[in-house]
Structure 1
Amino acid sequence: MLSRTLPALCLALLLCAPASRAYATSSDGEVVAVDQESRRVLVLETAEELMDYQGPDRPPVVWSWGADRAPDLGDLGPAHSWTNPDEAKSRILEDRRYLLTTASGGLAAVVDTATGRSRWAVDLGEAVNPHSIELLPDGNVAVAASGGGWVRLYAASQGPRVTAHATFRLPGAHGVYWDERTGLLWALGDGELTGLRVGGTPAEPALGAVRSAPLPDRGGHDLAPVLGAPGRFWVSTLNGLWQFDPAADGFTPVRLADPAAEQDVKSIGDDPGTGRLLTVAPDHRGPCDWCTSVIRLHRPEGTWTLGGTQLYKARWWATW
């Protein structure tokens, strides 16, 4: 087993990378992690570089972003709305790269990685607990909120603070993903995976369910594409990991070398270049019961331990 421990990251990483330093370079093999301790989204070096990391002179963070010091988000009260960031994805729209992120405190944002400024951002309120976000080809933004029990499609293409939206009720909504192949917005809830058809106009969007598959286990949490098998999705539930094939309308269990690593997974994904899996699950050892400082690798097995962090999710920093 490969294993490395990264020392406490320079005052919880705040001094290692500027709040919104331009980042628009190639990112093959890099990893993005959501750290609730430093209240930042961190882009980490490639897997090979992380394995060679000896620290502390060369920190593993190549780019980071946090709402607390974002000059264009002061009106959204990030001191409260950016509490417990819980999602990070990479998307390309109109030849620009964006970070998609949410926080349990209520913030949902689409951030230009070249400038660190938001294309769209709103405070949805902590009661709804935003948990995932997606950027559609027309510039609109979907958000899944577990506390609210809904998926909303916001008319974000119409302006940086637009809150007009369409709503689909989904108890325990935790994941959302736009799939070009099926032309559907897929949403993951406590008990089902639902395919939503997007209608209306960019200014007045509409959502309607056209497909639904009951989950093989309760507590749906993460939804992501299988990059090594386009058309399939990774799905995590409370007690297991699965691949969903829309063509077959069925779930296949995913088995790891350590069966315990299949439980309570907050995020899962595969590196399209190597096929290696990356997962994050809470270790219940620190002050944050739903966090960890460990990123686990599978096929082959390995771990990265980032001292001083409280990670909620991590993904390959790939533009799905």
Structure 2
Amino acid sequence: MLRRSLPVLGLALLLCAPASRAYAGSSQGEVVAVDQASRRVLVLRGAEEPADYQGPDRPPVVWSWGADRAEDLGDLDPADSWTNPDEAKSRILDGRRYLLTTASGGLAAVVDTATGGSRWAADLGRVANPHSIELLPDGNVVVVASGGGWVRLYAASQGRRATTHATFRLPGAHGVLRDGRTGLLWALGDGELTALRVGDDPAEPTLTAVRSAPLPDRGGHDLAPVLGAPGRFWVSTLNGLWQYDPAADRFTPVHLADPAAERKVKSIGDAPRTGRLLTVAPDHSGPCDWCASVIRLDRPEGTWTLGGTQLYKARWWESQ
């Protein structure tokens, strides 16, 4: 097993660092991680061969973004709304790569990685506790919020601060994913996985429930595509990991080399080419009880320790 750990970067360097810079592309093995310690989203090179981590502005970080110094988000009070960032995804729309991100403080944003500017952003409120986000082919945006207990489809195609939305109630909403094969939107809550149909008019968004599957365990958290089996989803719950097959309406348990690592998983996904699994779960090694400084790899097994970070989620960057 590969294990690496390095000291924390000095605070002075962290405070002087720019919030974002242009990022043109990605290569095999890159990982996107949301770090609550630096209040940054980090794109890291080389998870297949983990490199020494020396801070958010040093290799292997190839790109980073944070709302604190994003000039175009000043009206959304990122000092407060960007508290505890908790999601980071990559999506391609009209040939451009976007970072999708949320924070428990209320911020939800779609960020152009080529410019660092936001395509759409909103402050949804700390009470709502936004937890995940999805970008649709028409430019609209879906956000799920665990505190609010809802799934919202925003008419983001209509403007950078568009707030018109449709709402579907889902207690403990934590994960959201669009299935490109069917066009259905899947949302994960405390006790169920629900499929929603999106209306045809981007300017007047609607959500209609199509079907629902009760979870095999309580506390649904992460929802991601199984790249090695298109049409299936990774699902994490309080006590386990699962693959869900919508065609069979069946949850199949997923086992890691260390059974203890299957509990309270915040994010899970398989690499696009190798199928290697990547997970993040709390390691209780720092002041953040729900975070970790370790990215776990399975099939084959390994770990990547990023000293001084407080990671909430990490994903294969090119898989999204």
TM-score after normalising by structure 2? 0.96
Aligned to 1:255: 255
User: How far has the Cα of 1:12 moved from its partner?
Assistant: 8.6
Shift in alpha-carbon separation, 1:76–1:212, aligned structure 2, 3 A:
same
Contact 1:8 1:308 in 2 (8 A): yes
- Is 2:142 aligned against 1:142? yes
Aligned to 2:238: 238
Aligned to 2:79: 79
Aligned to 1:101: 101
Shift in alpha-carbon separation, 1:197–1:249, aligned structure 2, 3 A:
same
Contact 2:6 2:54 in 1 (8 A): yes
Aligned to 2:308: 308
Aligned to 2:153: 153
Measure the CA separation in 1 of the matches of 2:10 and 2:211: 47
User: How far has the Cα of 1:180 moved from its partner?
Assistant: 1.1
Shift in alpha-carbon separation, 1:17–1:79, aligned structure 2, 3 A:
closer
- Is 2:67 aligned against 1:67? yes
Aligned to 1:222: 222
Measure the CA separation in 2 of the matches of 1:242 and 1:48: 23
Aligned to 2:92: 92
Measure the CA separation in 1 of the matches of 2:157 and 2:100: 15
Classify the secondary structure of the residue corresponding to 2:68. Answer: helix
Aligned to 1:166: 166
User: How far has the Cα of 1:14 moved from its partner?
Assistant: 2.9
User: How far has the Cα of 1:19 moved from its partner?
Assistant: 1.8
Contact 1:3 1:303 in 2 (8 A): yes
Aligned to 2:19: 19
Measure the CA separation in 2 of the matches of 1:308 and 1:91: 28
Contact 2:18 2:69 in 1 (8 A): no
Measure the CA separation in 2 of the matches of 1:175 and 1:58: 31
Aligned to 1:115: 115
- Is 2:11 aligned against 1:3? no
Aligned to 1:299: 299
Aligned residues with identical type, % of pairs:
84
Task: Deviation per CA, 1:98-139: give whole Å up to 9, x if none.
Answer: 000000000000000000000000000000000000000000
Shift in alpha-carbon separation, 1:266–1:13, aligned structure 2, 3 A:
farther
TM-score after normalising by structure 1? 0.96
Contact 2:131 2:143 in 1 (8 A): yes
Q: Spell out the pairing of 1:128-139 with structure 2 (5 A cutoff).
A: 128-139=128-139
Letter of the 1:137 partner, please give it. P
- Segments of structure 2 that go 5 or more residues without pairing to the other structure are none
Letter of the 1:212 partner, please give it. S
Shift in alpha-carbon separation, 1:16–1:236, aligned structure 2, 3 A:
farther
Shift in alpha-carbon separation, 1:60–1:12, aligned structure 2, 3 A:
farther
Measure the CA separation in 2 of the matches of 1:35 and 1:58: 15
Classify the secondary structure of the residue corresponding to 2:284. Answer: coil
Letter of the 1:210 partner, please give it. V
Shift in alpha-carbon separation, 1:292–1:234, aligned structure 2, 3 A:
same
Measure the CA separation in 2 of the matches of 1:31 and 1:235: 19
Measure the CA separation in 2 of the matches of 1:36 and 1:190: 23
Measure the CA separation in 1 of the matches of 2:314 and 2:244: 21
Contact 1:6 1:304 in 2 (8 A): no
- Is 2:160 aligned against 1:185? no
Measure the CA separation in 2 of the matches of 1:295 and 1:215: 26
User: How far has the Cα of 1:283 moved from its partner?
Assistant: 1.2
Contact 1:12 1:38 in 2 (8 A): no
Measure the CA separation in 1 of the matches of 2:58 and 2:216: 44
Task: Deviation per CA, 1:135-154: give whole Å up to 9, x if none.
Answer: 00000000000000000000
Contact 1:18 1:63 in 2 (8 A): no
Contact 1:92 1:319 in 2 (8 A): no
- Segments of structure 1 that go 5 or more residues without pairing to the other structure are none
Measure the CA separation in 2 of the matches of 1:16 and 1:297: 32
Shift in alpha-carbon separation, 1:143–1:58, aligned structure 2, 3 A:
closer
User: How far has the Cα of 1:26 moved from its partner?
Assistant: 2.5
Q: Spell out the pairing of 1:186-225 with structure 2 (5 A cutoff).
A: 186-225=186-225
Contact 1:17 1:63 in 2 (8 A): no
Classify the secondary structure of the residue corresponding to 1:261. Answer: helix
Task: Deviation per CA, 1:203-243: give whole Å up to 9, x if none.
Answer: 00100110110000000000000111111100000000000
Aligned to 1:32: 32
User: How far has the Cα of 1:36 moved from its partner?
Assistant: 0.4
Measure the CA separation in 2 of the matches of 1:14 and 1:271: 30
Classify the secondary structure of the residue corresponding to 2:105. Answer: coil
Q: Spell out the pairing of 1:249-288 with structure 2 (5 A cutoff).
A: 249-288=249-288
